[in-house]
Structure 1
Amino acid sequence: MISDGGLTAGDRLPPVRDLAYALGVTPGTVARAYAILTDEGWADGQVGRGTFVAAPGAAEQGAEPEYPPRNGAPDATRIALFGPSVPDMGQVGLINAAFARLADRPAANLLNYPSRAGYAAAREAAVRWLGAAELGPLHHEDLVMCHGGQSGVSLVLQTVLRGARPVVLVEELSYPGFRRAAELMRAEVVSVPMDGEGLIPEALDRIVAETGAQVLCTSPEVHNPTGICTPADRREAIARVARRRGLHVLEDDCYRLGGRRGATYRALLPDLGWYVASLSKGLTPALRIGFAVAPREEAGALRRAAEHGFFGLARPLADLVEDMLPRADTAAMLTAIREEFGRYVRAAVNALGGFDLTWHEEVPFLWLRLPEGWRAAAFVQAAEAEGLQLRTAEDFALRDGFAPHAVRIAVNAQVSLASFEAGMLRLRGLLDNPPERIAV
């Protein structure tokens, strides 16, 4: 009808359920057809309004669907900055559209346990999505889909650790989830000193020799919480230590939103390098979709750990991976989210750039070393009084470890940019007036 002129630009197509009833097919079939029309530029899906005939010429241009945000970011005076909050750039509509397409999948998908063969297409989609991560030779059988990045970390440790009291190494300041996963495995956690480029190889070598550690957990691309990136030569030096000592290296790459700046440890250590990533920071944490990648010789052991632990990712989520990750509109959404995070980071830097700050436009948090006169605990308390919730360096150190007077400021892009900017200016006011200089 669009081709023949029976429907013209701007005409609204029938609601999915109405057309499904009229044609005697399932709503999923109609939703899938509408998605194809939209993908090919014949129609324009508008979240909350319906599907409309696209303007002439859109089909020839191969127009992609748009998923505008449901609501503008609200203004707020109290802002949680504990962890990054992903902006709504329309991904809710994108995900809902994907679930609508999945309604036409075979009924058996929702009646049986997950299977290795049945998830092959989803794993292949994940491998293509991770392809730019420079993981070395990668087959979909090397990858296990899991329930977020933390699930992936736990899964790798379950696969690797042996003995009654294994030792896991972490960076001097590190993601607390490493410690929690290791403690669940009854492992001892030991920290390795760092400098401005990440782990110190000589210290790593000494501590592995002293402790017999089996695994190092690290985040070389975006170190959490400091935001530093370990340069290529330092990674190679760390890899040499790991190779000589037989040390497994687990790389957590969940915070990276843009391109890589160095090789993964899986590429540097084909027999010892493990890799974990997720959709949480770049798309949404609500789906709890993550990926754990094993060295080729360890892939079978990783699969068994997943199958024995939880059988596999829930089938609707695996189908979502298969459907959504290869789509151009998903890639465009990830780019839009990354760029929006960048706007908030720049706003923070504009307000706080005069202080000792580590940041990158494609990292959704900033690391602030406090000026003389401020201790981290007092600063966080003062910020709380201003309606801003931060995390201190102590949250990222071992219980008996050293923590500098510093705070991590996560980007909350679910409040308006104006509110976020105002919050950063309130932080600057505190930094400009440490306690001993505040008039009584």
Structure 2
Amino acid sequence: MGTIWPQSLSEAKGPKYKKVADTIRSAVDLGSLKTGAKLPPVRDLAYQLGITPGTVARAYSILTDEGVLEAEVGRGTFVAEKKKPVPDDVWSRQLHLLEARDPGHVSLFSPRIADMGQVAAMREALHKVAEGEARSFLNYPTRDAYLPVRQAAAAWVSQSPVGPVSESDVVLTHGGQNGLMVVLQAILTGPQPVIMVEDLTYAGFRRAAELLRAQVVEVAMDEHGIRPDSMELAIRKTGASVLCTSPEVHNPTGLHTPLERRKEIVRIARRHEVQIVEDDCYRLGETRTSSYRALAPELAWHVSSISKILTPALRVGFALAPEGRSTELRRAAEYGYFGLAQPLAELLRILLTDPRLPDLVAAVRGEMARYVRVAVNALGAFDLTWNPDVPFVWLRLPSGWRAAAFTRAAEANGVQIRSADEFALRDGRAPHAVRIAINAHVPLRQFEEAMLRLRALLDNPPEQISV
């Protein structure tokens, strides 16, 4: 155990408990401390390092909570067996716990939008909902009761170039992911339908497909998004009938598919009668070109939400069908969950018709852009894709770093980010890159410090490449 310490920590700068925890964690990762190895008692290690027993105890506690160590009453503290990776949703919950235990930890795992007054607006709206007619709390949802909500949603969605939208075209969903599920339930046919996705893609496409017993195949990308030749080949080889894509803001790379490329994709889709499902949930700003639904109104489906521009807490999204297929989409939603809870639908109506909404949205966009600029100032010397209206940046790692090793090193330095591997299909290949989400829940200065920690890692790649 003594060989893992480069020097006494008695005069080290910064929180000593973090340095103890980081050193032990690194030794476990490198194999210097094997599974089952017993660590010294707290007082013994404190004496060896010239620090207080409380400092060592805090480090042990952090590592035990993380699963690196395990404590057995009466026997001591040992290096725990490495656990299998946990699902993303479980890991996301753990991140909140890490932040609660360690204020220096910054999660850049998923975007967290700034509160620019929308929380106060939601509280006011909740009061209005609570004072509503008693029967609205006792009845099942009905289409007639939801007419004002759908009208407000249609007005909201129509701000983007998605083609003609009336209230009857809008299906209210429980967030964007639920919107994708409802759309796919409405259109997938056959014993094992095939869905095409970009070779790096939002994991929700894959999860929705798995739940619906569909096969997922990847389509190659270039700097403009989906490559038409790769899409045509995938259709011919697999008989794919659906393309799921994010052309306005591609998740995770932040790329944008220009109009001419979209038109090529539409020509192929029409030739092979392929349905296009467009996910438009990550855009904060104005659209740069027409959506697939506007370009191909007979075959394109559109999904969006308020999660990245107002709040993800309400879990509200919008799904639009192509011309003539709204009934299929409504049926899928009604059979699946009847509709949004009526109090939630009323809350949504109040928010979407609030005259302050345009200013709130503009303020959120402006504040998120401030955080993006800080990230660019810190990391712009590297291969970075960014946009002030996108709540994440995409970083291609310099020579010497692999994505898995970099994310581990970042976590050891109190910064949680996503590896490109998390966006690849299970048998696909991922570049050495990471997605860094914008977290406006932490002060701008703390966010900047996290960016500088990442830059320090980028400037100092390991001498040996980890695999």
TM-score, L = length of structure 2: 0.77
The partner residue of 2:142 within 73, 91, 115 is: 115
> CA-to-partner distance for each residue in 1:262-318, whole Å, 9 max, x for gaps?
111111111110000111111111100000111121100000001100000111111
1:316-331 equivalent positions in 2, closer than 5 A: 316-331=343-358
The reply to whether residue 188 of structure 1 matches residue 186 of structure 2 is no
> CA-to-partner distance for each residue in 1:65-124, whole Å, 9 max, x for gaps?
xxxxxxxxx994210011001112222111010111223322221111111111111011
Q: Which residue of 1 aligns with 2:277?
A: 250
Q: Which residue of 2 aligns with 1:398?
A: 425
Q: Which residue of 1 aligns with 2:152?
A: 125
* Partner amino acid, structure 2, of 1:181: A
**What is the CA distance between 1:437 and its match in structure 2?**
8.4
* CA–CA separation in structure 1 for the residues paired with 2:285 and 2:402: 33
Q: Which residue of 2 aligns with 1:198?
A: 225
Q: Which residue of 1 aligns with 2:251?
A: 224
Structure 2 regions of 5+ residues with no counterpart?
1-99
* CA–CA separation in structure 2 for the residues paired with 1:218 and 1:437: 37
Q: Which residue of 1 aligns with 2:263?
A: 236
* CA–CA separation in structure 2 for the residues paired with 1:89 and 1:387: 27
* CA–CA separation in structure 2 for the residues paired with 1:264 and 1:245: 20
* Partner amino acid, structure 1, of 2:357: T
Quickly say closer, same or farther: Cα 1:421–1:76, change in 2 above 3 A: farther
> CA-to-partner distance for each residue in 1:399-430, whole Å, 9 max, x for gaps?
11010000000001100000000110010000
Structure 1 stretches of 4+ moved >6 Å: none
For 1:174, what is the secondary structure of its paired residue? coil
**What is the CA distance between 1:328 and its match in structure 2?**
2.1
The reply to whether residue 347 of structure 1 matches residue 354 of structure 2 is no
1:30-429 equivalent positions in 2, closer than 5 A: 76-429=103-456
**What is the CA distance between 1:153 and its match in structure 2?**
0.4
* Partner amino acid, structure 1, of 2:307: S
Higher relative contact order (CA 8 A, sep 6+): 1
* CA–CA separation in structure 2 for the residues paired with 1:170 and 1:197: 15
* Partner amino acid, structure 2, of 1:397: A
Q: Which residue of 2 aligns with 1:434?
A: 461
For 1:423, what is the secondary structure of its paired residue? helix
For 1:328, what is the secondary structure of its paired residue? coil
Q: Is the 8 A contact 1:76 1:419 kept in 2?
A: no
For 2:217, what is the secondary structure of its paired residue? strand
For 1:296, what is the secondary structure of its paired residue? coil
**What is the CA distance between 1:211 and its match in structure 2?**
1.1
* Partner amino acid, structure 2, of 1:163: G
Q: Which residue of 1 aligns with 2:93?
A: none
Size of the alignment, in residue pairs?
Answer: 366
* Partner amino acid, structure 1, of 2:263: E
* CA–CA separation in structure 1 for the residues paired with 2:330 and 2:280: 20
For 1:436, what is the secondary structure of its paired residue? coil
> CA-to-partner distance for each residue in 1:114-160, whole Å, 9 max, x for gaps?
11111111011011111121111111111100100000000000000
Compare 141-150 and 208-217 and name the one that shifted more.
208-217
* CA–CA separation in structure 2 for the residues paired with 1:217 and 1:148: 17
* CA–CA separation in structure 2 for the residues paired with 1:356 and 1:437: 22
Query: What percent of counterpart residues are identical?
Result: 56
> CA-to-partner distance for each residue in 1:162-205, whole Å, 9 max, x for gaps?
01111011011000000000100000000100000000011111
* CA–CA separation in structure 2 for the residues paired with 1:421 and 1:100: 37
* CA–CA separation in structure 2 for the residues paired with 1:102 and 1:80: 33
Q: Which residue of 2 aligns with 1:23?
A: none
* CA–CA separation in structure 2 for the residues paired with 1:92 and 1:323: 13
For 2:388, what is the secondary structure of its paired residue? coil
* CA–CA separation in structure 2 for the residues paired with 1:300 and 1:264: 21
TM-score, L = length of structure 1: 0.81
For 1:85, what is the secondary structure of its paired residue? coil
**What is the CA distance between 1:333 and its match in structure 2?**
1.2
